[in-house]
Structure 1
Amino acid sequence: AGSVAVGKSTTARIIQTVLSRLQERLKVSLITTDGFLYPNAALTEKQMMSRKGFPESYDVKALLEFLNDLKSGKEIVRAPVYSHLTYDRLEGVYETVEQADIVIIEGVNVLQTPTIEDDRTKPRVFVSDFFDFSIYVDAEEDLIIKWYLERFRMLRETAFQDPSSYFHKFKDLADEEADHMAKSIWETVNRPNLYENILPTKFRSDLILRKGEGHKVEEILVRRV
């Protein structure tokens, strides 16, 4: 778990690689919860596109069913796939987890719990109930914003150039314009989500990786058993 742009995906891939090399034939799968976001068409219909990434934009029921199938030992389990290019779930495309020894689940929402007012309508079981070990990737907000702006500029030069990209309209932005746009998205979407829904889950994790400049891990906090 952790903020947008804090390095969750990279951390998860590194852990996957390290674990898979610890023992011969150890099968380690990685699933991102982005695939469990409602499709853009559904979010648009519910007037929730501006809340994409917030708890209500995820199909939590489907995510819990996926995790339950994993935990119950089902041999083949499928998870929907999300495309960061089209900014949407890929219709009919799935990631298959087949008899994995370890499954890593990565996403901003993996440690979240329903709010009090949601208790009557949301499942009593939480996503984190299925985890054996949880990690929160942490950093100061000013660093996360810096990394977010850097990533936005990089995507402007790469993925945004693809005509099929949802953000193709931003491909010709000047540096100053790109930074202004990225800061606007951060302030109106990512920052509120961080403080309302993501950061409060930090101390529910078993381990916190606190990062500094250059994405270097400067401190590791482990929950006492």
Structure 2
Amino acid sequence: MWPDAHILGVRETGAVSRHVPDLIDEVRLPDSAASGAPGASPFVELDRADWSRLSASTPLPLTTHDVVRLRGLSDPIDLREVDTVYRPLSRLLGLYVAGVRGVHQAVTTFLAEGGRPTPFVIGIAGSVAVGKSTTARVLVEMLRRWPEMPRVQLITTDGFLHPNEELKRRGLMERKGFPESYDRRALLRFLAQVKSGIPEVTAPVYSHVTYDVIPEKRQVVDRPDVLVVEGLNVLAPPVIEPGTQRGLAVSDFFDFSIYVDAEVQDIRRWYVERFLRLRRTAFTQPESYFRRYADLDDDAAQDVASGIWSRINEPNLRENVLPTRSRATLVMTKDADHRIQRVLLRKP
């Protein structure tokens, strides 16, 4: 068994098989058909062209240089894709943020209280290797350039993985990235503090070189306007505590959520391609946990990557990540070339 299920994985996720039935696959009627008939969809479905037209007069604040700097190793996103897909999304998020701020103002007026709004929290979910990290970074950069929204931060749930020593103690090193490998209570506590408006909340930091949480290193989140939370399992349903009927989900703290979607066979190919690239780059670092893979030839590296995907990453996708797709506010579906071809937006 390979103990590296999480290889290259926790940072970039998002995959879906068209052959795995779930809520969205069962309710793919267009909006015009959603009139209360059986199977009517809770989502508005938009193709690439229709979605692109929704950007209206929203400015495009990024340049080609920005996009090259932000994209992931296996995600060939370009400025055209940002213009077509992320500009409309930026506009939509602006409307959502304004709406939440309006609700905050109404409630504070009702209670005769003051105070600043708590952070608007966006969750981004999906499977290993689809480019979810790129989605998060591009969104953060675009939102930071809104004149009224300069304070935007990003955290990944990687830091909330149990340290390797604890995973070894629990026999979970081969299930790194599965729900049980995370300190879920610590993540929930962190988000509860953020949404309570507490200043200087801290999150642990993860190293993808050493493949472990960095001891004593913390990321400070100090009441941003927007916080983006990226992770494999951030849309998972609540876990019911033993002996109670109560449970809390990470997504309970989200104001908006995104699932990045693609065919399983495409995700598998992207995963293998990324492994081969990292074999010549990050894996060559002396301190890399994956140093032993750096000297593999192409055939051996492909065999290793395919084995890890088939035994661990794909089962995690099918069992734990994919079933959360229908819980998202918005689902973005990629084609084989990483281009977003379809968007499903949950009806309000």
Contact 2:238 2:248 in 1 (8 A): no
Per-residue deviation, 1:77: 0.9
Which of 291, 300, 304 aligns to 1:177? It is 300
Aligned to 1:35: 159
Show the 5 A alignment for 1:145-184: 145-184=268-307
Show the 5 A alignment for 1:113-152: 113-114=237-238, 119-120=241-242, 124-152=247-275
Per-residue deviation, 1:24: 4.9
Which of 293, 312, 316 aligns to 1:193? It is 316
AA partner of residue 280 (structure 2): E
Q: Per the alignment, in what secondary structure is the counterpart of residue 74 of structure 1?
A: coil
Deviations 1:59-116 (A, max 9, x none): 000000100010000111110001110110000111111121100000001001246x
Q: TM-score, normalised by structure 1?
A: 0.96
- Looking at structure 1, the residues matched to 219 and 128 of structure 2 have their Cα atoms a distance apart, in angstroms, of 22
How many percent of aligned residue pairs carry the same amino acid?
52
Per-residue deviation, 1:126: 0.5
2:205 pairs with 1:75: no
Contact 2:204 2:219 in 1 (8 A): yes
Aligned to 1:13: 137
Structure 1: unaligned runs, 5 residues or longer: none
Deviations 1:157-188 (A, max 9, x none): 10000111000000011111111000000011
AA partner of residue 233 (structure 2): N
Aligned to 1:3: 127
2:189 pairs with 1:65: yes
Contact 2:283 2:291 in 1 (8 A): yes
Which of 98, 113, 121 aligns to 2:222? It is 98
Contact 2:128 2:313 in 1 (8 A): yes
- Looking at structure 2, the residues matched to 114 and 64 of structure 1 have their Cα atoms a distance apart, in angstroms, of 11
Q: Per the alignment, in what secondary structure is the counterpart of residue 247 of structure 2?
A: coil
Contact 2:160 2:182 in 1 (8 A): yes
AA partner of residue 195 (structure 1): R
- Looking at structure 2, the residues matched to 99 and 65 of structure 1 have their Cα atoms a distance apart, in angstroms, of 15
- Looking at structure 2, the residues matched to 16 and 88 of structure 1 have their Cα atoms a distance apart, in angstroms, of 25
* Count, aligned residues: 223
- Looking at structure 1, the residues matched to 263 and 184 of structure 2 have their Cα atoms a distance apart, in angstroms, of 28
Per-residue deviation, 1:120: 1.8
Aligned to 1:203: 326
Q: Per the alignment, in what secondary structure is the counterpart of residue 31 of structure 1?
A: strand
- Looking at structure 2, the residues matched to 119 and 140 of structure 1 have their Cα atoms a distance apart, in angstroms, of 34
Q: TM-score, normalised by structure 2?
A: 0.62
Structure 2: unaligned runs, 5 residues or longer: 1-124
- Looking at structure 2, the residues matched to 183 and 109 of structure 1 have their Cα atoms a distance apart, in angstroms, of 22
